[in-house]
Structure 1
Amino acid sequence: MNWIKRHQAAWLRYYIARKKPGTGYQGLLRLLQLFCHRHGFTRQRHGKQKQKQSVLIEVRDDFVAEFHLQYHGFGPDCVYNVDETGFYYDMPPKYIWSARGGDANISTGEKHSMRMTAVLTVRSNGDKLPILFTIRGTPGGRIETSELPTYKRPLLCFVEPSVMLLDNFESHVSDASYRIVEEELSSFLCAIPPNATSICQPLDVGVMAPFKRYLRDEWLNEEMIDGEDGDDFDTPTAAEKRKAMVKRAIAAWDRVTATEIRNNFVKALPSIEE
């Protein structure tokens, strides 16, 4: 896709213009898949072992019952779900195409070095909070010493006690995390059961997937930024790429609707019948 964006930009714009909104990326991907299949390439992808659906549903039901028992007094504007996702300037392929019988490894030059993390936060009433972007920085640099101390506190301040739903990642459920949420924010940290975010976490149930799809759509419509790879975060080219990534993520986040968010909170935390 990068080759097409760089060398066949006019054709790409014409191709996307003929497609329905939001279908350009998938249409182009399908076209490339047919081309690869016709010329003898095979598609490979790492597999992951998953828990049985019946086990996941049982875990979710137990979690939901405990959640509603402990936090039934919190309204939909006081229940938050926070999760992060990484994305790249050049959106990485999910699959590797290789000649039949050939090596499926990716060379060093084809790997994506410009990476950014987007922290997404939603409330069960459908609200979206602004994205928190995390990039590689310099310890003791200007942002850490001069800017974070002045703006972090207002951004993390909740108007009233709230519940924060987080996955079971080690740093999320550490003693320090519980202390910060409870003592500094006067709120509650609720850890989602391990290996159950696909069914218990609203963002994973049905918000993250469309967000990433919108990211790919926005990337496909971007102009290529010429220059070096941008692994050095002090170069002007790297700064331009970071700016493009931030704009891309904001545009994709804007396309996620309040209805989608509310519906997926209902799926992840269904009401318990008395």
Structure 2
Amino acid sequence: MRRRGYPISTKLQALGMLETMSDYKVSVALDVPRRTLRNWMSHKHEILAYEGNLKNIKLEPGGRYEVFPEPPGLIEFINHVRDNKRALTTTHLILWIKASQRKWLNNYLATKKQSTSYDSLFRLRFCHRHGFSHQRPAKNKVKQADLAEAQSDFAAEFHREYIAYGKECVYNVDETGIYYGMPPRYIWAVRGGSSKFSSGEKHSLRMTAVLTVRADGNKLPILFIMKGVPPGHHYAVQQRAWMDTRVWATYLRDVLDEASEEPSVVLLDNFESHVSGESYNIMYEDPTCVRCHRRRRRCVNPLTLG
């Protein structure tokens, strides 16, 4: 007979009920054996301190035990290299292991065939298990430290200038393109002829979502910009499925104006349609007067702003 498992959420619920109810009543209410409840009570502090997915059954993940003797050290090395925007390959990891864990490495390789010993080491999938992935390298224009400093300075400036506005009056707006059908990388064309194709085909399978969240955590309905609509959100049609002055005016009148009931602040970037004269006219013709605060273009996405 297979042993029954209970998610962490059920364990937390049971511990809360045991504060005011007997284990017998809790057992009947949750259909959990009293012996299991007593076991949960003996591990009460560990369960209450759990911060992971409440759907999990175990406090600690299962699976095979870690073979490598010092995971935190290698993880710290990986993060240090990447924080400095340096290229990191498997060869760099092996060199670190040779320098820091040579005894373990020699013992591990001694248990493998000499011709395939390093192949076994490569298949340990250490990086995959600890949240790292194999990616194509890309050039970085600005250092991460500079971006973090710019974000911190901007956050301080913004909160200082608009401290009088409550959280229910500060809106954060940004657009994100959704590509669900990219153009092919290679096409057939007449030798010596042009390989260009129409801009309409280039953007035929793209739509844009305009996301707005208030500082108090409430989210406005999403404005979807597409070529083309199910109820519940707002939609706009644009030739290239992108934001322009006309669509931005639609957003201000149909989405933002419906949500703002008093003078408010809108946090957005300096995209052309956002800072146009028409945009300012629409904002200031409303008695509730929604003020715009332009952010630096090189800052990180404002939806992540602390």
Q: TM-score, length-normalised on structure 2?
A: 0.38
Higher gyration radius (CA): 2
> With CA pairs under 8 Å and 6+ residues apart, which has the higher RCO, 1 or 2?
1
TM-score (norm 1): 0.42
